[in-house]
Amino acid sequence: MTKPFTLHILDSPESFNQFGARLLTELAQEAVAQRNRFNIALSGGGTPASIYKLWGERPYRDQMPWQQTHLFWGDERLVPPDDPGSNFRQINTLLLKNVPIPKENIHRAKGEYAVETAVADYTTQLKTIAQAGAPPIFDVVLLGMGSDGHTASLFPGSPPQQSEWVVSVTVNYDGRPAQRISLTPTIINCARHIIFLVSGGSKATMLQNVLYGPYQPDRLPAQRIQPTHGTLIWVLDTAVAQNLIHPS
Ligand code: 6PG
């Protein structure tokens, strides 16, 4: 990686999840104290699931400024919101049903739309938090990383530099073809805080390559994530961090 980053390595699933929920709550409180609003783009995948659940429980649920919190998604599959593959559905089940967030603060990508309409609709939603003509500045963008180095729905071999804010992709990942839409690095890299949540030994080699290997963003999309002004934070468990050797 070419930009500085911070590593947090947690030694149990419980401490990993507590760290994640606490970090999101603290960043939300900071954003609301400074700007009376907290804009976050959430990640899909399995890694953040327990963190979302914890975030909707005491003490974090009661500490969070839900009235000023606005949820977006880093990517979404083009399926209806109640489809098992929907990132919105996962977060609705784990978190939204348990917290007093106003419905108008939930800015989901409309997976039920045709792809062009979904891209246009989501881009319009993003414009509501952007200064005229400039990309929106999220307070937090949450990301995962696949064992192939993908992040959000930016997969190896996908066009690296995308001027658009939102792109559509068709991937055959985890054994099923799926159309998705995804934020691009143009948006993600403008965030105040970019947080990767990565766990599991199966990703250890890829993590070493992404963090300390040669810069090859075409093959390793997670390397495309280079904050322009904000912080880059990796929240890891000991299993995924087991191989980390900083080249001296
Ligand atoms: C998604 C995410 C995707 C995910 C990685 C890691 O919608 O699934 O955007 O990028 O973060 O595939 O997924 P796990 O956390 O399940 O390993």
Over residues 55-96, the pLDDT tens digits come to: 999 999 999 999 999 999 999 999 999 999 999 999 999 999
In a domain, 181, yes or no: yes
pLDDT of residue 177: 65
Any atom of ligand 1 within 6 Å of the Cβ of 20: no
Q: How far is CA 227 from the centre of its chain?
A: 13
CATH number for position 78: 3.40.50.1360
pLDDT of residue 12: 98
Any atom of ligand 1 within 6 Å of the Cβ of 206: no
Kindly write down the DSSP assignment for every residue of 27-66, as one continuous string. HHHHHHHHHS-EEEEE--SSTTHHHHHHHTSTTHHHHS-G
Bridge partners of 141? Answer: 41, 194
pLDDT of residue 1: 57
pLDDT of residue 151: 98
Total domains present in the chain: 1
How far apart CA 80 and CA 232 sit, in angstroms, is 32
Nearest CA to ligand 1 atom 13: 45
User: From ligand 1's centre to the CA of 143, what distance in Å?
Assistant: 8
Nearest CA to ligand 1 atom 8: 45
In a domain, 140, yes or no: yes
Which residues of the chain have a pLDDT value below 50? none
Any atom of ligand 1 within 6 Å of the Cβ of 25: no
| Burial classification of residue 11, based on how many CB atoms lie within 10 Å of its CB (0-12 exposed, 13-18 middle, 19 or more buried) | exposed
In a domain, 248, yes or no: no
Residue range of the domain that includes 102 = 6-237
- The residue to mutate among 150, 171, 172, 240, having the most atoms of ligand 1 within 8 angstroms of its beta carbon, is 150
User: From ligand 1's centre to the CA of 147, what distance in Å?
Assistant: 10
pLDDT of residue 83: 96
How far apart CA 162 and CA 167 sit, in angstroms, is 8
In a domain, 217, yes or no: yes
In a domain, 19, yes or no: yes
CA angle 90, 68, 57 (to 5 degrees): 45
Any atom of ligand 1 within 6 Å of the Cβ of 21: no
Q: How far is CA 93 from the centre of its chain?
A: 18
User: From ligand 1's centre to the CA of 33, what distance in Å?
Assistant: 31
User: From ligand 1's centre to the CA of 75, what distance in Å?
Assistant: 9
Q: How far is CA 96 from the centre of its chain?
A: 17
